[in-house]
Amino acid sequence: MKILVCVTSVPDTTTKIAFTDNNTKLNKAGVTFITGPYDDYALARAVELKEKTGATITVLNVGEADSEPVIRKCLAIGADDAIRINAEPTDAYFVAEQIAAIAKENSYDLILMGRESIDYNGGQVHGIVGEMLGIPSISPVMLLDLDGDTAKITREIEGGKESLEAKLPLVLGCQEPIAEWKIPNMRGIMTARTKPLKVVEPTGTDKLTTVASYELPAPRGAVKMIPADSAETLIQLLHTEAKVI
């Protein structure tokens, strides 16, 4: 069985976001880049499936050279080889096109990725890839088990969850609690250095969307503290001042 895990390289979740060049670029100074937290779930489940079924895992990133540390970490966690498509991943359709092109060459049984990236929060790439390949896509996936070529899946829906079955090949957008995040061990880190990481140039170049500029939200006004012994006034203030109840 062949699994493709697609990962993003994103600013660490605690990063204070700032922009440079007249608000046209992310200020990368001092920012630690990590694997997208949802992608970490996808990779962790792939590693568990590899342990059970002997599957091979290829990790794929659409990104520039500075995402290689993130790719190496995925190799250290258990992916067998890696592909980096050398392009800036700003447009969901463009990223999906790159993934679909690789998938067409290599017929994977499972294509796993996070349910969304935590930078642009589009949550669209898995579905577009599924459409391009003509195979089903399911997201957000909370549980995944395989029974031969049938996947048993639990998906989150608004206010609940849904159990599904579908035949491989599939594209899945993953989230917790599909697996526990894995931390690379020393042996993994050592072997990751020698695992193949292939860099390929992108195909299909038109981006359907581009970001003209960025902006930060206006700061919230100062907090109005209400003494605990008159907590009830909060309800009056929400009613008459904030007018939300």
Partner 1 sequence: MSVLIFAELDEGKIKKSSQEAIFYGTKVAEMTGTSATAVIIGPADDAELASAGRFGATKVLHAADAKLTEPNGMAYATVVAAAAQQEGSKVIVLAKSSLADAMTARLAGKLKAGLAANVIELPNLSNGFQVKSSIYTGKAFAYNDLKADVKILAIKKNTITPEEEDATASVEAFAPILNDADFVISVKNTEKSSGDILLPEADLVVSAGRGLKGPENWGIVEDLAKALHAATACSKPVSDLDWRPHSEHVGQTGIKISPNLYIACGISGAIQHLAGVNSSKVIVVINKDADAPFFKSADYGIVGDVFDILPRLTKAVQAL
Q: For residue 13, state whether it binds ligand FAD (rule: CB under 6 A).
A: yes
Q: Return the amino acid letter for 196.
A: P
- CB of residue 49 to ligand FAD, shortest distance in Å: 23
Binding mask of the shown chain, residues 25 to 54, with x at each position contacting ligand FAD by CB under 6 A: ------------x-----------------
Q: For residue 19, state whether it binds partner 1 (rule: CB under 8 A).
A: yes
Give Cβ neighbours of residue 143 (< 8 Å, ≥ 6 apart). 152, 153, 154, 177, 178
Task: Give the DSSP letter string of 136-204.
Answer: -EEEEEEEEEEETTEEEEEEEETTEEEEEEEESSEEEEE-TTSS------HHHHHHHTTS-EEEE--S-
- CB of residue 80 to partner 1, shortest distance in Å: 27
- Out of 57, 75, 128, 172, the residue judged to bind partner 1 by CB under 8 A: 128
Q: Parallel, antiparallel, or unpaired: how do β-strands 197-200 and 81-85 relate?
A: parallel
Nearer to partner 1, 28 or 161 (CB): 161
Q: For residue 239, state whether it binds partner 1 (rule: CB under 8 A).
A: yes
Binding mask of the shown chain, residues 148 to 187, with x at each position contacting partner 1 by CB under 8 A: --------xxxxxxxxxxxx-------xxx----------
Q: Interaction with ligand FAD in 209-238: which residues (CB under 6 A)?
A: none
Report which of 7, 234, 240, 190 is spatially closest to residue 112, judged by C-alpha positions. Answer: 7
Give which of ligand FAD, partner 1, none residue 223 binds (C-beta under 5 to 8 Å, depending on kind). partner 1
Q: Parallel, antiparallel, or unpaired: how do β-strands 150-157 and 9-11 relate?
A: unpaired
Nearer to partner 1, 31 or 197 (CB): 31
By the criterion CB under 6 A, which residues form the site for ligand FAD?
13, 37
